Amino acid sequence: MESLRVTPTQLLPASIPARTERQAMDWSLVLASQGIEVFLDRDPATARWQLRLADADAGRARDVLREYLRENRGFEWRHEVPGSDYWFDGRVVFWALAVAFVFAWTGGPVESAAFDTERFRAGEWWRAFTAEWLHRDVAHLASNLVMGLVFLGLATARFGLGVTLSGCFLAGAAANVFAMTIRSDPYRGLGASGFVLAALGMLAAQAIPLWRRGRRGNRRVVSTLGTGALLFILLGTDPDSDRLAHLGGFLGGVIVGGLAVCLPGRFGPAVRRLAWAVFGALLATTTVLTLRA
């Protein structure tokens, strides 16, 4: 009895043409980073390379590639991480420069910007955000910059710069409030560690949509979340650090990242514009309130 063989073309009927094999490979990595399964194929009629994918993923894949091409005109900020499915976005260097500039300008903690829990409860809500830009000393600053460049660079390549910055900014502020609600004694906190670990949480959440793909997808989700949790334990539980704020930042990042990856692809451009608007508005408002305090 002759068995029936199902080909990738039958399983993945939609196609996206590419000019070269190299372009097809680059695009396949971009789509894989977004959880979209593709298969590289060469059209026998035209000898052109193409990406084969499921009909259900075709619309979202074209939106992802369109945004990828728009964001990568001119200088190439995104680069593939060798030996992995991850990409790194170098635009996070501007965040690092901004944090370093704030430290150089202020010389360390600023009374009107640090997260003082008593003043926060008295109505100075902006302190939960402004504290994310401050550091105690050079060692504190260097630690957050090193981790931040790695996690934020990977998260930005996955979610976009606006979504990553606004998501981490909100999660970092929520982390400060989370730590405050658990502790009973007043204290002052500062640092970008909650912001940075929120980026790790977003990375850990990027595989969540794969749960729809059965047992194999569930294993990938558990593996990714487990890896993120392990990295959090290794990097975020130093006894001398604010472990509650770190935990709040990581969990907040998982929530933000999970929401971002589960949104339908057609909402992507609107979400990115909204994210930039939220980040810009929060940054401007909290800065003005700090300077006036």
User: 266 and 219, same structural domain?
Assistant: yes
Rounded CA separation 34/32 (Å) = 5
Q: With respect to residue 226, please indicate whether it lies within any of the assigned structural domains.
A: yes
Backbone angles phi, psi at 145, to 5 degrees: -70, -40
Contact 162, 276 (CB under 8 A): yes
Tens digit of pLDDT for each residue in 212-229?
666 777 788 888 899 899
Q: What is the DSSP annotation of 126-193?
A: THHHHGGG--SSHHHHHHHHHHHHHHHHHHHHHH-HHHHHHHHHHHHHHHHHHHHHH--S--EE--SH
pLDDT at 50: 85
Range of the domain at 187: 87-292
DSSP bridge pairs for 52: 15, 39
Those residues whose C-beta lies under 8 Å from the C-beta of residue 12, and which sit 6 or more positions away, are 37, 38, 39, 52, 53, 54
Domain membership flag for residue 2: no
Give the dihedral of Cα atoms 213, 217, 218, 222; nearest 10 deg: -150
Is there a single domain that holds both residue 34 and residue 167?
A: no
Residue 137 domain-assigned?
A: yes
DSSP 37: -
d(CA 206, CA 197): 15
Do both 139 and 253 map to the same domain? Answer: yes
Question: Do β-strands 87-89 and 49-53 pair in parallel, antiparallel, or remain unpaired?
Answer: unpaired
Tokens at residue 128, please? Answer: 């939960």
pLDDT tens digits, 118-139:
999 999 999 999 999 999 899 9
Q: Residues 143, 158, 22, 90: what is their CA dihedral angle, to the nearest 10 degrees?
A: -40
Does residue 252 sit within a domain?
Answer: yes
Give the count of domains, the chain. Answer: 2
One digit per residue, the tens of pLDDT, for the chain of length 293 reads: 344 443 445 556 678 888 777 778 878 888 887 778 888 887 776 778 888 888 788 888 888 888 777 766 656 777 878 777 788 999 999 999 999 999 999 887 778 889 999 999 999 999 999 999 999 899 999 999 999 999 999 999 989 999 999 999 999 999 999 999 999 889 889 999 999 999 999 999 988 887 766 677 778 888 889 989 999 999 988 888 889 999 999 999 999 999 988 887 667 788 889 999 999 999 999 999 998 87
Q: Which two tokens stand for residue 55?
A: 């009909």
Same domain, 172 and 61: no
CATH of the domain at 68: 3.30.70.1530
CA neighbours within 13 Å on the CB side: how many for 212? Answer: 8
Contact 197, 246 (CB under 8 A): yes
Shared-domain flag, residues 240 and 99 = yes
pLDDT for 143: 93
Q: Could you tell me if 108 and 179 lie in one domain?
A: yes
